[in-house]
Amino acid sequence: MTQAVNSPYFNANARKALDDAFLQKALARSEKGFIERRKAAVEKLPEYDALRDSARDLKDHILAHLDLYLEAYEKNVIASGGHVHWAATAEEANEIILGICKRLNAKTVAKGKSMISEETGLNAYLETNGIRPVETDLGEYIIQLRGETPSHLIAPALHVTKEQIEADFRRAHVELPPERNLDEPTSLLAEARAMLRDKFLAAEVGITGANFLIAETGSSVIVTNEGNGDLTQTLAKAHIVISSIEKVVPTREDAATFLRLLARTASGMDLSVYTTFSTGARRETDPDGPLEYHVVLLDNGRSNMLGGKFQEMLRCIRCGACMNHCPVFHAVGGHAYGWVYPGPMGAVLTPSLVGVEQGGQLPNASTFCGRCEEVCPVRIPLPKLMRNWREREFERHLQPAAVRYGLGLWAAFAKRPALYRAATSLAMRTLRLFGGKGRLRQLPLASGWTRYRDFPAPQGETFQSQWKKRGTAR
């Protein structure tokens, strides 16, 4: 793992995000669109829920036999003229890719969108080694100009407003006439396209991610809406696919099952604009295509998740629906999560890949509202998995002392009903005295509550005491 982890500072990151007016504007703009588009797409597909069940079962089957499908996949990649490289760690994956680039004397690398390359910190690594990576997905292009990382799985520049993008383009594209009109999103897109055209042609190597790897054919599949992935991989001398091991599916038909769910859940489209299947390098009869085809298969901690409490997380197909429906994500955006993967899926996956010591804040930063699980296309029980992490933290005494002692004290009373009744009876009557106006504006030890809200004063005597009196009176 090479991308720096800022997840332990979630609270500070979140405060910064809440104070960022641009970010708040960008988040408010995007929130409804994702939700409404997904809803409309799902309502048009009567078998949507049945499809989710099949997809879940299929993923469980794949994960139970992952070794077999990966071996079959490797065999068929080789049979179709490609190469497979196994990478246990992010560093290994980066070294393999650099090796290919150096052998081909690559100076420029065109990149399609890939979260796995974010996980390995590939761009920074290539730059350090004198190779220029150029992101070709519009959103990724924008954040590369800004020197940022993606804040969302499928909308990496979700945190940026149109006005900010215009300013970035004017700053970066100095060769273009300053008086040009960039008011419309389409003019921004056209400008990015024009700027990227030369880069596509110059790049000796094209790197893409993979949404799926098909075992029976050795193919990789990507979905894009801009067609940049196709140019990235067909114009270069070599196409390198960087993927994690759990992306493998047995057959083309299985890939179709997931494709039917993916775009609908992610963006409300029936299918993405481009769905590209790539099998091997250019054959003699092919009019174009790369001369070499490589697949770098990254583990980076995933095989440790197999057979354990977090295996269900490996079902994830990276649609982003969980974060699109998450109140915490809506409030603070993706960067606050402090590593590659934001939102509920990131809250489960991050501690799995970087360790609970560093990622433990994230599964705590959830209200457990359950909306993520409700919309997950492969039915990952995200709240349950977040709770599993909280249990790990608790077992290892990693939670803040105040939380631990607070709950411990509460539990000590709750486990002794008679003591509880006596103590709470007294406490509530005392609180009542201070809350004569019906509400408390400040409470010792509860500033987290009273900083922003009043605390409704208790009525006085507890329900149990009052009920007991009623019983005696009758």
Residues that bind another protein (CB under 8 A): 11, 14-15, 18, 327-328, 330-332, 364-371, 373-374, 387, 389-395, 399, 403, 407, 410-411, 413-415, 417-418, 420-421, 424, 427-428, 432, 436-439, 441, 446-449, 451-464, 466-467
The 8 Å CB, 24+ separation contacts for 160-166 are 160/22, 160/26, 161/22, 161/25, 161/26, 161/29, 162/188, 164/22
Give the number of other Cβ atoms within 10 Å of residue 273's Cβ: 11
| Torsion over CA: 223, 89, 199, 280 (sign) | negative
**Cβ nearer to another protein, comparing 43 with 395:** 395
CB of 165 to another protein, least distance (A): 25
Give the number of other Cβ atoms within 10 Å of residue 4's Cβ: 11
Question: Which secondary structure element, helix H or strand E, spans residue 361, and what is its range?
Answer: helix 361-364
**Cβ nearer to another protein, comparing 129 with 464:** 464
Integer Cα distance of 359 and 236 in angstroms: 37
**Cβ nearer to another protein, comparing 288 with 395:** 395
Helix (H, G, I), strand (E, B) or coil at 198: helix
Integer Cα distance of 182 and 240 in angstroms: 34
DSSP 458: P
Residues 6 or more apart whose Cβ sits within 8 Å of residue 400: none
Contact of 197 with 135, CB cutoff 8 Å: no
Helix (H, G, I), strand (E, B) or coil at 221: strand
**Cβ nearer to another protein, comparing 274 with 413:** 413
DSSP 247: G
**Cβ nearer to another protein, comparing 185 with 408:** 408
Integer Cα distance of 259 and 272 in angstroms: 9
Integer Cα distance of 131 and 107 in angstroms: 5
**Cβ nearer to another protein, comparing 174 with 401:** 401
**Integer-rounded Cα radius of gyration of the chain:** 26
**Cβ nearer to another protein, comparing 108 with 311:** 311
Integer Cα distance of 278 and 258 in angstroms: 17
**Cβ nearer to another protein, comparing 7 with 228:** 7
